[in-house]
């Protein structure tokens, strides 16, 4: 099996990974970045991005990510296709297996593997991806001003997104599987008392329809009960707010995570508690999950990696 050693290994190719590559490259650390399953990360599935600084006219997700990638390449980052399939952070230098056929060791590691939005598993979610289906109200809510949208979920995140969207949309339906909300009391009150939000308790969204994008959803009320009822609701946008799954599983034997799997870092730093190992972007961010905050954390992780290497006399 082929073997290689690097000063800095960056795992993941979203805004956090590419930004870390830009900073570490400019610091002459010669980083190696493996892009993972989805080159460019989640943003490559987003059509229009209007809230990333520096693009006054907006930009598509794939173009934004390619711009970041090209910037990292310009400074000499070694960006490679490939997936980390095994990791060993028990001792430095840290060891990894790439695609089951290559070993690489690294003095410092920046974990930027992101988090994957949870979906209901409907075929229509794939069919209308980027055409009315979204897992980020903050990212895409702007496009639904004065329109009708649905949010799926019953926890704090779903309620927060419903309230946020209600500030933009004409009408918001909150589709809740249970006969109650799981959100905190204050969030429940905000949702239940909001004039633009209608909560559909004991409802399941079972499909979407529309010719050139989402025009409505098929729902079932009290599924499986004698009084089960099926009908359609006209909507323009369908937002999933049932959680994200951080891509942290292979690192969990060594780094601390919360109950969901988000990597816990020390204070506001990207330090994981394992010397020389840092986490950046959505894999360590259960709260904001924005491209700009991910990029900022990638910057922080790169600076920390440079400082660590300097302190260890490796630069």
Q: Out of 139, 159, 282, 285, pick the active-site residue.
A: 139
CB 143 within 8 A of CB 165: no
The reply to whether 140 belongs to the active site is yes
The reply to whether 139 belongs to the active site is yes
Pairing of strands 48-49, 59-60: antiparallel
Long-range contacts of 168-172 (CB under 8 A, 24+ apart): 168/141, 168/142, 168/144, 169/141, 169/144, 169/145, 169/196, 169/237, 170/146, 170/196, 171/196, 171/198, 172/148, 172/196, 172/197, 172/198
Q: Out of 107, 136, 236, 285, pick the active-site residue.
A: 136
Q: Out of 124, 140, 282, 285, pick the active-site residue.
A: 140
Length reported for the chain:
315
CA dihedral 284, 290, 296, 297 (to 10 degrees): 0
The reply to whether 88 belongs to the active site is no
CB 16 within 8 A of CB 295: yes
The residues that are catalytic are 136, 139-140
């Amino acid at each position: 099996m082929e073997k290689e050693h690097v000063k800095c290994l960056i795992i993941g190719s979203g805004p956090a990974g590419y930004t870390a590559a830009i900073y570490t490259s400019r610091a002459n650390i010669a980083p190696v970045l493996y892009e993972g399953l989805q080159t460019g990360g989640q943003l490559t599935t987003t059509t229009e991005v209007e809230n990333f600084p520096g693009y006054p006219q907006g930009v598509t997700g794939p173009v934004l990510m390619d711009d970041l990638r090209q910037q990292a390449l310009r400074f000499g980052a070694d960006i490679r296709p490939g997936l980390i399939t095994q990791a060993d952070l028990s001792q430095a230098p840290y060891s990894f297996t790439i695609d089951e056929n290559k070993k690489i060791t690294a003095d410092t590691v920046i974990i930027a593997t992101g988090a994957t939005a949870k979906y209901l598993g409907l075929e229509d979610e794939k069919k209308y991806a980027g055409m009315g289906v979204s897992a980020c109200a903050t990212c895409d809510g702007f496009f639904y001003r004065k329109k009708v949208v649905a949010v799926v979920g019953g926890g704090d995140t779903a309620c927060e997104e419903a309230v946020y969207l209600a500030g933009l949309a004409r009408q918001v339906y909150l589709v809740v599987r249970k006969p109650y909300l799981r959100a905190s009391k204050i969030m429940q009150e905000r949702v239940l008392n909001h004039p633009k939000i209608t909560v559909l308790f004991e409802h399941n969204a079972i499909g979407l329809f529309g010719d050139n994008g989402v025009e409505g959803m098929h729902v079932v009320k009290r599924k499986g009960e004698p009084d089960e009822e099926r009908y359609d609701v006209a909507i323009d946008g369908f937002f999933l707010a049932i959680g994200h799954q951080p891509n942290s599983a292979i690192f969990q034997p060594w780094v601390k995570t919360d109950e969901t799997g988000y990597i816990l870092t020390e204070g506001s730093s990207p330090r994981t508690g394992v010397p020389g190992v840092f986490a950046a972007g959505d894999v360590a961010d259960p709260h904001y999950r924005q491209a700009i905050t991910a990029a900022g954390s990638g910057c922080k992780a790169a600076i920390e990696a440079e400082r660590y290497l300097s302190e260890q006399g490796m630069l």
